[in-house]
Amino acid sequence: MSTCLLTEAERQSLLRFLQALVKTPSPSGQEDQVAALILEEMRRLGYDEVWMDRAGSVVGRIGPTSGPALMFNSHMDTVAVTDASSWIADPFDAVIRDGCLYGLGACDMKAGLAATVYGAAVAARRCSSLSGSILVACVGLEEPSEGTCTRLLFEEGQLSPAWVVIAEPSNLNVVRAQRGHVEMTLSVEGRSAHSSAPELGENAIYAAARLVFGLELLSGQLGDDHFMGSGVLTVTDIRSHAVSQNAIPDRCEMFLDRRLTVGETEAMALLEVQRVIAREAVRAEVRVIEQEVTTHTGQVLTARRVSLPWILDERHSLVQAMLKAAKAVGLRPSTTHWHFATEGAYTATVARVPTIGFGPGDPTLLHCCNERVELKQVYAAASAYAALVERLLGS
């Protein structure tokens, strides 16, 4: 059995840190207090260097800067609490029941974050020397705009790791693929008229309805991949505008959520919708959503709501190294994929760094009431991260 297993003292210390993280609210854009806790913990654990960039992302480094770097990547933010009264306990109490820690962000993804902070420290204690550096990156604003803060770390902070591990929940399986994501608005134009004489106007709702049926048909004809599954297109919101309730609506706007599978691109996703518009001969325009987000340090960043799918071959050395590291600490991982978007969308497709996912927690519990994580998984994840460091950077 690997020497990377955590001692009882290390487990207790990791648990205290995780509970402190869960007890500290960190909705997107307000991660300052959690960031401060992470900085403090990394310093306490003896990281070689710890810093915060202008977007408020925290990075800790252990090991020499001369060799290849392995980055563990987590996000500090959580979604808002939904339906607090249905929880078994206050979502910020971080209570433990039946071996699970309950709380907002427990699974998504403060457990993974805490495990990477400890995994790196444990690896440093067990390895006599490292041939490169371990970078533990903790970013904000993942929930509203995945990839935005990691992009800054790479492009402004000039971090260029050789490998990235995203610590989002995977039930301790190795994730080697993730679907892409395009969010679009579809604006349909009509012409206003009094509703007593609709023939003088052009009803934007009727035009939009024709597009909705066209989009539903399109959603059954998208790309497919045997490992990642098919592309998805869903109309998730629709709003119309009329000068009054006795007027023909002159505008109707829809929100489209498109998930991309292997081989699908942003351009394809737009073109397919434009074809539906052309076929229905409707005056409409489709656009990818761009939004401004504000970091907890007050920086305003522009985020395009696009991420591309990525997939690593089963035989890739990083996939194999993570499988072996997990087995070395007693786990039985398989390879899988994520349906949801993560910071890997940036690291794998834009920065083109081999990226995998591996983290504690059940991915079906994200954004749910009674979000929780099994503590056994948290400790095992930290050990597996340490074992991965040993494999990739151990001398």
What residue ranges bind Zn ion (CB under 5 A)? 108-109, 168
Closer Cβ to Zn ion, 372 or 391, answer by number: 372
**Closest approach of Zn ion to the CB of residue 317, in Å:** 26
**Closest approach of Zn ion to the CB of residue 254, in Å:** 26
Can you spell out the DSSP letters for 101-164? EESTTIIIIIHHHHHHHHHHHHHHHH-S-BSSEEEEEEES-TTTSTTHHHHHHHHTS----SEE
Closer Cβ to Zn ion, 48 or 362, answer by number: 362
Cβ burial, residue 200 (10 Å; 0-12/13-18/19+): exposed
**Closest approach of Zn ion to the CB of residue 170, in Å:** 11
**Closest approach of Zn ion to the CB of residue 334, in Å:** 21
Closer Cβ to Zn ion, 113 or 204, answer by number: 113
Can you spell out the DSSP letters for 222-275? ----TTT---EEEEEEEEEE-SSTTB---EEEEEEEEEE-TT--HHHHHHHHHH
**Closest approach of Zn ion to the CB of residue 142, in Å:** 6
**Closest approach of Zn ion to the CB of residue 340, in Å:** 7
Closer Cβ to Zn ion, 109 or 348, answer by number: 109
Distant-in-sequence, close-in-space partners of 338: CB < 8 Å, separation ≥ 6? 168, 170, 175, 177, 178, 179, 344, 357, 363
**φ, ψ at 160 (rounded to 5°):** -140, 75
Contact present, 392 and 163 (Cβ < 8 Å)? yes
Closer Cβ to Zn ion, 282 or 348, answer by number: 348
- Compute and round to an integer the Cα radius of gyration of the chain: 23
Collapsing DSSP to helix, strand or coil, 77 comes out as: coil
Q: Map tokens 């904000």 to a residue.
A: 140
Closer Cβ to Zn ion, 109 or 121, answer by number: 109
In sequence order, what are the beta bridge partners of 337? 177
**Closest approach of Zn ion to the CB of residue 320, in Å:** 25
Closer Cβ to Zn ion, 168 or 183, answer by number: 168
**Position closest to Zn ion via CB:** 108
